Amino acid sequence: MHKKHNFGAGPCILPSSVMEQAAQAVINWGGMGLSILEVSHRSPEFEDVVLKTQLLVRELLSVPDHYSVLFLQGGASTQFAMVPMNFLSKGKKAAYLDTGYFAQKAIKEAKLFGEVALVASSKDKDYAYIPVDFNNDKQAAYLHCTSNNTIEGTEIFDFSTAGAPLICDMSSDIFSRKINITDFDLIYAGAQKNMGPAGMTLVIAKNEFLDQAKKEIPSMLDYRVFRDNMSMYNTPPVFSIYVAMLNLLWLKDQGGVNGIEQKNIEKAKLLYTEIDRNPLFYGTADVGHRSRMNVTFLAINKEVETGFLKFAADQGIVGIKGYRTVGGFRASLYNALPLSSVEVLVSAMASFEKIYS
Ligand code: PMP
């Protein structure tokens, strides 16, 4: 079904079997004679979808019972404000790890609600690495980090840090690898990479932590309201949740998060090996902090950059142009991208080397 090799950073490739089922449900959902787009979110059929999707999240990520699984709206960007709105007060401070563009956006919003303590930043090297040596101050309301830096192509692999409660933006690597939920007090992620289409935001949070939230919060921005209403305080993003359910069922069929992690490791290794071998390209992230989801690399000169973009496009490779702050290339290797697409990219890089030299 997919004619192009889609390396886009998000919204991104989803499995073609999921697209087909979603398309069918838009026409006639489960033989009901109704489209998924026109059923009530209060119908037992849709309530069942929400429940199943929550159970799939719990199963795939081994979420313990004392954590809630919530489906919100407003994207990860709303979480940048919602986190401090719930957990940071004037006169208190929250700790932030500055690892790139999205971490900066989270910091900007937090400053509206209280004091922000920057525990560490990798800005000195254009965010090419993840700072590891920092003090996680117990006195802070929480420590916020970004597990995968979608633009800069770096990823955190070790979350063991004792101190303040840990909050993590996992928008671009959730469901791509095994994580230990109990390392975190709250995780959030926009759905539009490995979970499903844009429109919903996943939150996984420790109940005890949610109970410490401030009291005076507008309902739509209060995690507890979503917890107490099965994520249906208002009309939820019905189609996004439905497609996420289909996508998580697909993930289960792939051997779950453990199974997909092995495939993701293989895909990333193949591409990084070619970047390191090919004299026309070089990686931007420090080797030990390279992301498996967003592979960022540069060309040795502008001519190679524009030439390769065109050469790749002619072979059906799309979405590899790097973000403007980093430049060059960014190949996103999300769960649904097959190894065969990475093979096509790697072989295009090798062919271009022959043509160019
Ligand atoms: N955080 C990260 C790590 C992201 O990759 C993105 C979007 N790509 C965002 C936050 C913002 O997400 P949204 O567009 O859903 O608000």
Q: Which tens digit of pLDDT belongs to each residue from 232-282?
A: 999 999 999 999 999 999 999 999 999 999 999 999 999 999 999 999 999
Asked if residue 9 is part of any domain, the answer here is no
Residue 6 per-residue DSSP state: E
Q: Which tens digit of pLDDT belongs to each residue from 292-301?
A: 999 999 999 9
Asked if residue 3 is part of any domain, the answer here is no
Enter the tokens of residue 99. 């690892």
Q: Which tens digit of pLDDT belongs to each residue from 158-205?
A: 998 778 999 999 999 999 999 999 999 999 999 999 999 999 999 999
Q: Which tens digit of pLDDT belongs to each residue from 137-159?
A: 889 999 999 999 999 999 999 99
**pLDDT band for position 357 (50/70/90)?**
confident
DSSP string, 24-45: HHHHSGGGSSS-GGGS-TTSHH
Judged by DSSP in three states, 94 sits in: strand
As for the ipTM of the complex, it is: 0.99
93, 114 contact by CB (below 8 A):
yes
- Indicate if the pLDDT at residue 1 is higher than 90: no
Asked if residue 109 is part of any domain, the answer here is yes
pLDDT of residue 224: 98
Point out the ligand 1 atom lying closest to the alpha carbon of residue 151: 5
76 is in an annotated binding site: yes
Kindly report the protein residue whose alpha carbon is nearest to atom 10 of ligand 1. 76
Whole-number Å distance, alpha carbon 75 to ligand 1 midpoint, is 7
Dist. CA 272–CA 279, nearest whole Å? 13
25 is in an annotated binding site: no
Whole-number Å distance, alpha carbon 352 to ligand 1 midpoint, is 32
pLDDT of residue 136: 84
The domain containing residue 151 runs over which residues? 16-253
pLDDT of residue 2: 55
211-217, Cβ contacts within 8 angstroms, sequence gap of 24 or more? 212/87, 213/86, 213/87, 214/85, 214/86, 214/87, 214/89, 217/85, 217/86
pLDDT of residue 133: 84
Same domain, 245 and 270: no
pLDDT of residue 199: 97
169 is in an annotated binding site: yes
pLDDT of residue 90: 87
- 124: Cβ contacts below 8 Å, ≥ 6 apart: none
Whole-number Å distance, alpha carbon 78 to ligand 1 midpoint, is 10
Number of domains in the chain: 2
Strand 115-121 relative to strand 93-98, pairing: parallel
Residue type, 340: S
* Least confident piece of the model among 35-49, 128-142, 220-234: 128-142
Asked if residue 93 is part of any domain, the answer here is yes
Whole-number Å distance, alpha carbon 170 to ligand 1 midpoint, is 9
Asked if residue 213 is part of any domain, the answer here is yes
Asked if residue 169 is part of any domain, the answer here is yes
Domain end, chosen from 230, 253, 276, is at 253
pLDDT of residue 255: 98
Q: Other CB atoms closer than 10 Å to residue 91's CB: what's the count?
A: 7
Query: What mean pLDDT, rounded, does the chain reach?
Result: 96
CATH number at residue 206: 3.40.640.10
Dist. CA 193–CA 212, nearest whole Å? 30
Ligand 1 pocket mutation pick from 80, 171, 330 by most atoms within 8 angstroms of CB: 171
Residue type, 192: Q
Q: Which tens digit of pLDDT belongs to each residue from 125-134?
A: 999 999 998 8
Same domain, 210 and 294: no
CATH number at residue 300: 3.90.1150.10
pLDDT of residue 307: 97
DSSP string, 137-199: -TTSS-EEEESEETTTTEE-------SSPEEEE-TTTTTSS---GGG-SEEEEESTTTT-STT
222 is in an annotated binding site: no
Same domain, 177 and 52: yes
Place of tokens 């989270």: 106
139 is in an annotated binding site: no
Enter the tokens of residue 42. 């209060």
Asked if residue 179 is part of any domain, the answer here is yes
Residues within 6 Å of ligand 1 by CB: 10, 75-77, 102, 146, 150, 169, 171-172, 190
Asked if residue 304 is part of any domain, the answer here is yes
